């Protein structure tokens, strides 16, 4: 058994990232400035986006996109119940109603058949979440949305480096929101990016920084001007150059980090896929999975223990885990406001009760991975 605790998803930060941050601290710009602009451009090029806007979180990107689309009271936005609260909170923030749907049993992404049933004349957007980094069935969702003139917003918080039918997530004209939180495949500690149509992204740029009608970061430079006008009651959602410094280096290292993630996943799959106590994650042939998460689903009756007991047993062996996610419809706010019951979304609720996210990070050593595997197998052997 390990002598030290292994966190669920430790960030991989090296000397190059530290040097880039120090360079920023010694420069004239520590908030939004030239490095943020470079990061926007280089990330946009990486995902083949028409345009990109760096913001302080994926939540900010989603909120800004909803505001720019003019979604508000009386409108409905269809999304999944199996997501983090931020995806749905932003719908509440603009005064619209989140309409939740259940997920597919294999990918844990929103089920297009149920999305179609949820569409009403009040539906003003479909917010797609690429759970764990596995792209959702975008063709099926576009076939529902486009003829009806319903925009698709992609919550791509897990999907940096993911591809759907050969195209990077974020390469379309529709809004796509990425997260660079500390546990993500590419981190800026906190931060996010919104991609999409250039005209739409420029509208979001104004909304994301107080509603100022010019690039405010230039105000204090030689080429800038002190004069500005507020054309919209906007937000304070800008990314800083300190964050962008991390992102620029992380982006250069992303392919190597993804390769390491895939190697870890392959090791897990070799050990766990043949055991009837576990349901291992899948990757459909038409996608390139980002492998932000490795979500193992247990069969409690075969293990003779609950998911919570399984997590505690791993913790006793110094292995950290998490759960992604507690379904939206069982959180008190949404449960009480909309009258949801746990089994209203049976696939999501059943999966939630059985799922555990194992450690997955390019920072994990071969010994770390072996320790996770040994711990999981030991718990299974002890309690079967």
Sign of the dihedral through C-alpha 1, 369, 129, 137: negative
Query: Any residues with CB less than 8 A from the CB of 258 and at least 6 apart, and which?
Result: 161, 185, 290, 291, 362
Mean pLDDT per 10-residue section of the chain, whose length is 384 residues: 95 98 96 96 98 98 98 98 98 98 98 98 98 98 98 98 98 98 98 98 96 73 80 97 98 98 98 97 98 97 96 98 98 98 98 98 98 97 74
Q: Residue 220: its pLDDT value, please? A: 61
Token readout for 300 is 């409690």
Beta strands in the chain (DSSP E): 52-55, 76-80, 97-101, 123-129, 152-155, 163-164, 167-168, 176-179, 192-195, 278-279, 287-288, 294-298, 355-358
Domain ranges in the chain? 15-251, 254-383
Residue 202, helix vs strand vs coil: helix
The answer to pTM > 0.95 is yes
Closest CA to 130 of 76, 168, 182: 168
Rounded Cα–Cα distance for residues 36 and 237 (Å): 13
Does domain 254-383 bear CATH number 1.10.600.10?
no
Beta strands in 48-206 (DSSP E): 52-55, 76-80, 97-101, 123-129, 152-155, 163-164, 167-168, 176-179, 192-195
- Which residues carry out catalysis? 184
CB contact at 8 A, 267 and 369:
yes
Q: Residue 344: its pLDDT value, please? A: 98
Question: Cβ–Cβ contacts within 10 Å for residue 268, how many?
Answer: 22
Rounded Cα–Cα distance for residues 327 and 355 (Å): 12
Q: Residue 224: its pLDDT value, please? A: 74
Q: Residue 294: its pLDDT value, please? A: 98
Query: Any residues with CB less than 8 A from the CB of 66 and at least 6 apart, and which?
Result: 77, 90, 91, 93, 94, 96, 125, 153
Rounded Cα–Cα distance for residues 90 and 144 (Å): 23
- The CATH class for the domain spanning 15-251 reads alpha beta
Q: Residue 66: its pLDDT value, please? A: 99
Question: Cβ–Cβ contacts within 10 Å for residue 336, how many?
Answer: 9
What single string gives the DSSP state of each residue in 284-348? -TTEE---S-EEEEE-HHHHTS-HHHHHHHHHHTTB--B-S---GGGSHHHHHHHT--GGGSHHH
CA dihedral of 73, 77, 82, 85, whole degrees rounded to 10: -30
Q: Residue 190: its pLDDT value, please? A: 98
């Amino acid at each position: 058994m390990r002598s030290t605790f292994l966190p669920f998803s430790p960030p991989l930060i090296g000397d190059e990232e530290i040097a880039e941050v120090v360079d920023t601290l010694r420069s004239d710009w520590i908030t939004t400035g030239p490095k943020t602009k470079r990061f926007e451009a280089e990330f946009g090029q990486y995902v083949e986006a028409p345009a990109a806007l760096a913001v302080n979180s994926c939540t900010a990107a989603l909120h800004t996109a909803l505001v720019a689309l003019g979604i508000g009271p009386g409108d409905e936005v269809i999304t999944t119940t199996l997501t983090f609260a931020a995806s749905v909170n932003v719908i509440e923030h603009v005064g619209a109603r989140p309409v939740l749907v259940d997920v597919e049993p294999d990918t844990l992404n929103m089920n297009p058949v149920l999305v179609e049933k949820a569409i009403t004349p009040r539906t003003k957007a479909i917010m797609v979440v690429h759970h764990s980094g596995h792209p959702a069935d975008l063709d099926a969702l576009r076939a529902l949305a486009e003829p009806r003139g319903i925009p698709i917003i992609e919550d791509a918080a897990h999907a940096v480096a993911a591809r759907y039918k050969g195209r990077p997530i974020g390469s379309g004209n529709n809004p796509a929101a990425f997260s660079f939180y500390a546990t993500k495949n590419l981190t800026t500690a906190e931060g996010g990016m919104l991609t999409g149509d250039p005209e739409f992204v420029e509208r979001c740029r104004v909304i994301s920084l107080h509603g100022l009608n010019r690039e405010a970061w230039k105000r204090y430079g030689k080429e800038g001007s002190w004069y500005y006008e507020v054309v919209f009651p906007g937000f304070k959602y800008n990314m800083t150059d300190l964050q962008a410094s991390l992102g620029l280096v992380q982006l250069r290292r992303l392919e190597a980090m993804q390769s390491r993630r895939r190697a870890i996943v392959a090791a897990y799959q070799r050990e766990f896929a043949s055991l009837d106590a576990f349901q291992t994650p899948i990757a459909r042939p038409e996608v390139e999975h980002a492998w932000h998460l490795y979500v193992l689903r247990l069969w409690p009756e075969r293990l003779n223990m609950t998911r919570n007991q399984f997590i505690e047993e791993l913790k006793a062996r110094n292995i950290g885990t998490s759960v992604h996610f507690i379904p939206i419809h069982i959180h008190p706010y949404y449960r009480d406001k909309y009258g949801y019951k746990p089994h209203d979304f049976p696939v999501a609720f059943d999966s939630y009760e059985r799922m555990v996210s194992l450690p997955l990070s390019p920072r994990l050593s071969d010994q770390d991975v072996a320790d996770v595997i040994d711990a999981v197998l030991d718990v299974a052997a002890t309690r079967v």
